[in-house]
């Protein structure tokens, strides 16, 4: 809350304090088609607007005189005590959001400085070993897009283990890219494909699939990437194989149906990550509205959540609906655009200051007090 007190004392903040302000400033800064990549989504984009609207339909019941002047926002996640129940959701091709193309390292540095865990995307522009090393003592997680090549998938997981990542998050909702009109309109994908190769070209199995070293023939490396990126044939039958790849905590991202939660539990996963990918993948798939049923079906298994979190109050609401930890997506992407590591740290500080004050002013001193009955439906 240093930021809050600095503001009360009359200090002007370095960056905009609200999501709307961050969004506008980032839009002014970015090349148009890259802006469309980060901010855009599937179909007519009502899915991503719906994510924000879903939060607006909830209010937080205020309780007075409950002695919430000192708050504790810490939570335990897979044996790690986090000082706050948030994390950096995986964002691919983060390098397009910073001047020097090292957006992954910039994000890892923000994670190290803030103690907020990073989930590092398969589509890193920096090799995962370097990103993991930059995380310092903050636990990091590796997000796997399961390639259409089992040996490559296994190699990614081995590298993640050797680098010190503390868990594997398998994203299931992106076996092919969503129907994103803005990206298709600008034909942005080849540029992004070229930009996100570092984690692949630093992989021994990926390199073994190439006729020439990637530096000599980048086009062939990009083509190989396109051949192996997604795996449309992956089904529940493959879960045993995925589970068998690692003893690290294994989470499935994109699970929003209670029956899928039960199947995931049967397959021995350690956590569920409820998300609609920020409305970028399946059009019209809700996220927040499905969270309570996912939490119920998880029966105590940790449930991570993202999609539409724009403020500290949103964090409080997702926690009250049962999330164990809440993922920040586009807001930190815009922080990266505006100020690299410092911008991301700033955004996280704002979100946490607001979450903390929202809890305190509403009379809740700990995360454990945030249960479903602290929320009330707002009538339209
Ligand atoms: C993403 N997301 C994502 N998810 C993932 O599992 N792997 C990835 O590489 C990416 N890449 C990616 C790029 C960009 C530009 C965005 C905005 C998002 C989805 C991300 O993890 C998260 O689910 C959403 O960002 C949450 O929605 P909001 O809060 O950003 O709207």
pLDDT tens digits for range 121-144: 999 999 999 999 999 999 999 999
Question: Which pLDDT value is given to residue 39?
Answer: 98
Q: Which atom of ligand 1 is nearest to the CA of 39?
A: 17
Report the separation in Å between the CA atom of 306 and the middle of ligand 1, taken as the mean of its atom positions.
9
What confidence score (pLDDT) does residue 223 get?
92
Residue having the nearest C-alpha atom to atom 2 of ligand 1? 91
- pLDDT for 379 equals 84
SS3 state at 186: helix
State whether the beta carbon of 39 lies less than 6 angstroms from ligand 1: no
ipTM of predicted complex: 1.00
Protein residue with least CA distance to atom 18, ligand 1: 91
Question: Who's near 42: CB < 8 A, 6+ residues apart?
Answer: 48, 178, 179, 180, 279, 280, 281, 282, 283
Please answer whether residues 307 and 73 qualify as being in contact, where contact means their C-beta atoms are separated by less than 8 angstroms: no
Distance from the alpha carbon of residue 32 to the mean position of ligand 1, in angstroms? 19
Nearest residue CA, atom 24 of ligand 1?
278
DSSP type of residue 366: B
HSE-up (13 A, CA, CB side) for residue 72: 7
pLDDT for residue 143: 98
Please say whether the beta carbons of 318 and 58 come within 8 A.
no
Which residues touch 93 (CB under 8 Å, ≥6 apart)? Answer: 37, 103, 121, 123, 125, 192, 195, 196
Q: Which residues of the chain have pLDDT under 70?
A: none
Is 80 catalytic? The answer is no
Quote the ligand 1 centre to 220 CA distance (angstroms): 27
């Amino acid at each position: 809350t240093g930021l809050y007190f600095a503001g009360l004392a009359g200090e002007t903040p370095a960056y905009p304090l609200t999501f709307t302000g961050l969004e506008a400033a980032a839009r002014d800064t970015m090349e148009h088609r890259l802006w469309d990549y980060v901010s855009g989504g599937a179909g007519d984009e009502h899915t991503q607007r719906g994510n924000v609207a879903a939060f607006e339909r909830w209010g937080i019941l205020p309780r007075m005189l409950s002695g919430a002047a000192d708050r504790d926002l810490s939570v335990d996640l897979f044996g790690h005590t986090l000082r706050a129940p948030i994390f950096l959701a995986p964002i691919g091709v983060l390098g397009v959001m910073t001047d020097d193309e090292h957006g992954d390292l910039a994000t890892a540095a923000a994670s190290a400085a803030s103690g907020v865990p990073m989930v590092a995307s398969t589509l890193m522009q920096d090799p995962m070993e370097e990103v993991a090393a930059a995380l310092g003592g903050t636990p990091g997680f590796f997000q796997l897009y399961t390639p259409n090549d089992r040996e490559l998938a296994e190699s990614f997981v081995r590298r993640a283990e050797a680098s010190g990542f503390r868990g594997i998050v398998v994203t299931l909702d992106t076996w092919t890219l969503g129907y994103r009109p803005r990206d298709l309109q600008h034909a942005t994908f080849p540029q992004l494909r070229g930009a996100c190769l570092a984690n692949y070209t630093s992989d021994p199995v990926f390199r073994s699939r190439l006729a020439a070293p990637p530096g000599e023939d980048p086009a062939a490396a990009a083509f190989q990437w396109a051949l192996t990126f997604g795996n449309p044939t992956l089904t529940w039958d493959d879960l045993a194989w995925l589970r068998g790849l690692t003893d690290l905590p294994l989470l499935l991202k994109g699970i929003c149906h209670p029956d899928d939660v039960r199947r995931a539990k049967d397959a021995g996963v350690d956590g569920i990550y409820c998300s609609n990918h920020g409305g970028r993948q399946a059009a019209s798939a809700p996220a927040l509205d499905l969270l309570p049923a996912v939490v119920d079906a998880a029966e105590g298994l940790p449930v991570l959540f993202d999609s539409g979190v724009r403020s500290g109050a949103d964090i409080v609401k997702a926690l009250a609906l049962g999330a164990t930890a809440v993922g920040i997506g586009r807001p930190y992407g815009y922080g990266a655009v505006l100020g690299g590591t410092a911008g991301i740290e700033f955004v996280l500080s704002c979100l946490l200051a607001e979450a903390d004050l929202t809890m305190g002013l509403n009379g809740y001193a700990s995360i454990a007090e945030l249960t479903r009955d602290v929320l009330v439906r707002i009538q339209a």
